[in-house]
Amino acid sequence: MQPIYWLIMVAILLVLEMVTLGLTTIWFAGGALVAYIAGLCTAPLWLQIVLFLIVSIVLLVFTRPVVERHLNNNREKTNVDSLIGKHGKVIEEIDNFNQTGKVSLNGMEWTARSNIAEEKISPGSRVEVKEVKGAHLVVAVCSPEE
């Protein structure tokens, strides 16, 4: 196989990546580039294919999660994800055992549960949203200095 075919494959995979922006084909372009270099060094076809597969899979498995984490780092949280870390006021006692509790947050009423199973949180308490589980906010009581 002529090395130029690997170079053409690199170009096609890079164009596909630009069109889809899925962070998938770029890693295979890296594998094709290594196979191209191996082809220039007159490596046998089987070695070029093995290098293409190994490099592509290694790049996909080990570098994709790191790159995605850094790319998604600056995205603004929307919907319920934006509630995490915000503070609200308890308007109905939060009691996980009896499955009761409501919090007022951003002018809306939310069903809430405590992040500590046995803890009851009385009305008027200031709480911080720790996570969102389904339609419930999981909250923790704020310390007085917050």
DSSP string, 76-95: PP-GGGGGTT-EEEEEEEEE
Q: Looking at residue 21, what is its pLDDT?
A: 79
Q: Which residue has the tokens 């949280």?
A: 77
Q: Looking at residue 70, what is its pLDDT?
A: 77
Q: Looking at residue 113, what is its pLDDT?
A: 94
Q: Does residue 146 fall inside a structural domain?
A: no
Separation between Cα atoms, residue 67 and residue 131, nearest integer Å: 25
Domain boundary among 72, 102, 130: 72
Q: Looking at residue 73, what is its pLDDT?
A: 64
Q: Looking at residue 75, what is its pLDDT?
A: 59
Q: Which residue numbers in the chain have pLDDT < 70?
A: 1, 72-80, 144-146
Q: Looking at residue 64, what is its pLDDT?
A: 82
Q: Looking at residue 69, what is its pLDDT?
A: 77
Q: Looking at residue 140, what is its pLDDT?
A: 92
CATH number of the structural domain spanning residue 97: 2.40.50.140
Q: Which residue has the tokens 């596909």?
A: 16
Domain count, the chain: 2
Which residues are CB-neighbours of 128 under 8 A, at least 6 positions away?
85, 86, 87, 88, 139, 140, 141, 142, 146
Q: Looking at residue 82, what is its pLDDT?
A: 78
Q: Please check whether residues 90 and 52 belong to one and the same domain.
A: no
Q: Does residue 10 fall inside a structural domain?
A: yes
Domain range spanning residue 110?
81-141
Mean pLDDT of the chain: 88
Q: Please check whether residues 86 and 68 belong to one and the same domain.
A: no
